[in-house]
Structure 1
Amino acid sequence: MCVACRARLTQRSFSSVGPWAVVALLAVGIHALSELLQLSVMIWAFSTLLELGYARSDATALYAESLFLLGMVQAIAWVFGVVGFLTWQFQAVRIATQLEVSRLSPRWALLSWFIPGLNLFKPYQVLRDLWRDLGGESSRTLLILAWWCLGLLTLTLGLGHELLLQVDEVVNIKTFVLRATQLAYTAMLVLTAVLCIGVVRHIQRRLTQVKRELVDGT
């Protein structure tokens, strides 16, 4: 690629990918934190309010309001996280394509998240290949693999917990079982979020290094 083309790429493409990485990182972090807070509220809030002298009706109302507010925070953070992450990925793949170090299609990389069956493995391959195409160390692909595998396990556990909640409406399931699955799901979700943040940071850091190399080359 000519020097002038690389200079234009540096000015246009790199300026848009960074802000979306920040949006994705903040949203993922907030979502994980809200999940922890929700779990804490579900386990301790009601009994704590009763111990503080609140009437049962008042404690119930505060408990419900807290869960509702945390649910809203989770929903908003989830939306911003998905939009931020997918937009960041699209921009990052486009940069790699424009640099002629990757044959990945930005649009295909985006669509792979929404095609049933394909979305079980293709997004992982996209990010793994993106990291390699940008010149990242091969050992770092283990971080991407760990994030992806744990994410699939977290999704499976979350679906299982929701199924238990539905079954509980018909057949009484012990509270311990429901809390145990909720605790396991939250712990895995938080760990998945931490790994996701690590994946975005490492790829974004590599993009910054590539940008610096282009600037030095001009």
Structure 2
Amino acid sequence: MLTGTVFPGRTELGTGFAVLGRFLAGLLALDALVGVVGVGLAFWSSSVIGRWLADIEAVDPAEAQRHDDVYLATGVVSALLVLASAVLFVVWLRRAYGSNRVDPAALRFGAGWTIGAWFVPFLNLVRPFGLVRDLGRGLGDRAAGAGLRWLVPAWWAAWLGMNLVNSVSSTLSRRSDDLAPVESLRHLHRWLWLDGVSSAVTAVAGVLAALLVLRVTRALEVGRAERPVPTDAGS
């Protein structure tokens, strides 16, 4: 596909798409930053709980409350950022995938899958990756130098890893609710290393997703408003 080619019968991207892409990339970068904070928080929490276990009678209720408040606040901020980023990513992907700057001959799936693929069990482990990979192929020579060949699989591997580790971490955390106070602390102390890993993977996934969004958005902006190809070239 020649740089600047547009395909009739598909949706024109307005200037707001670039704004959406930059805003989404910023949110994803914030996700990554919160992940980095989470790694430090896991180390801090491990130190605090380790001190409590060494002398359980010396636990300060006020310090324990601060510890819980910090963890709760970080968790709420992280959850809100992930939710906002996920919604905007789907909106961004839908607009990019259906645009007239992507060769439809490279797209194996209908545009509706950019939304539905995330909600179908098991299929959501592979279909979103296929959608983004096809989107990169549909960019043709616009994607030259964007590094999408390695970036797309790296992003998806990090996304899957983040969800897997987060799921295991959340399950192990809930198990401490049924234990006696001291045993609960011991369990949490053992679990915190996994919480740190979860935060680190979240940071990596956020960085890769931000890079992906920025690079694809820039590629879609190359040669804007140049000549359309004949109608049969997009079929």
Shift in alpha-carbon separation, 1:98–1:147, aligned structure 2, 3 A: closer
Task: Give yes or no for the alignment of 1:154 onto 2:123.
Answer: no
Gaps of 5+ in 1: 1-5
Q: Is 1:206 paired with 2:219?
A: yes
Normalising by the residue count of structure 1, what TM-score does the alignment of the two structures yield? 0.78
Alignment of 1:134-149 (within 5 A): 134-135=139-140, 136-137=143-144, 140-149=148-157
1:197 paired with 2:210, answer yes
SS of the aligned residue for 1:14 comes to coil
2:118 partner SS: coil
Q: Shift in Å at residue 122 of structure 1?
A: 0.6
| Matched residue, 2:233 | none
Q: Could you tell which deviates more after superposition, 119-128 or 160-169?
A: 160-169
Q: Residue by residue, what CA displacement relative to the aligned partner does 1:92-137 show, whole Å, maximum 9, x if unpaired?
A: 0111477655444322222111111111101001000101111124
CA RMSD between the two structures: 3.3
Deviation of residue 190 (structure 1)?
Answer: 0.8
Are the equivalent residues in 1 in contact too, given 2:117–2:128 (CA < 8 A)?
Answer: yes
Cα deviation 1:8-38 (Å, max 9, x = unaligned): 9999523232222123212222222223324
Aligned to 1:13: 13
Q: Deviations over 1:46-80 (max 9, x none)?
A: 84xx9xxxx93332333333223222321221221
Residue 15 of structure 2 aligns to a residue in which SS? helix
1:167 is matched with 175
Residue 176 of structure 1: how far off its partner (Å) = 4.8
The alignment of Structure 1 onto Structure 2 pairs a total of residues equal to 205
Q: Is the 8 A contact 1:94 1:106 kept in 2?
A: yes
CA distance in structure 1 between the partners assigned to 2:154 and 2:91 by the alignment? 22
TM-score (norm 2): 0.73
Deviation per CA, 1:138-162, whole angstroms, max 9, x where unpaired? Answer: 9622211111122212211111112
Higher helix proportion: 1
Partner of 2:40: 40
Gaps of 5+ in 2: 1-5, 52-58, 229-235
Q: Is the aligned partner of 1:119 residue 2:124?
A: yes
Q: Pick which of 177-186 and 30-39 moved more.
A: 30-39
Q: 2:84 aligns with which of 65, 80, 86?
A: 80
User: Any conservation in 1 of the 2:35–2:200 contact (CA below 8 Å)?
Assistant: no
Say whether 1:188 aligns with 2:201.
Answer: yes
State the partner residue of 2:55: none
The whole-number CA distance in structure 2 between the counterparts of 1:97 and 1:146 is 24
Is contact 1:134–1:210 with CA below 8 Å preserved after alignment? no
- For residues 102 and 150 of structure 2, the distance between their equivalents in structure 1, rounded to whole angstroms, comes to 26
Amino acid at match of 1:134: L
3-state SS of paired residue (1:95):
coil
- Distance in 1 (CA, whole Å) between partners of 2:76 and 2:88 is 18
CA change 1:152–1:7 in 2 (3 A) is closer
CA shift for structure 1 position 210: 4.3
- Residues 97 and 205 of structure 1: CA distance in aligned 2, closer, same or farther (over 3 Å): closer
Match of 1:95 in 2: 99
**Aligned equivalents of 1:118, 1:7: Cα separation in 2:** 29
Identity between Structure 1 and Structure 2 (%): 18
The residue number in structure 2 matching 1:57 is 61
Q: Which residue identity lines up with residue 72 of structure 1 in the other structure?
A: V
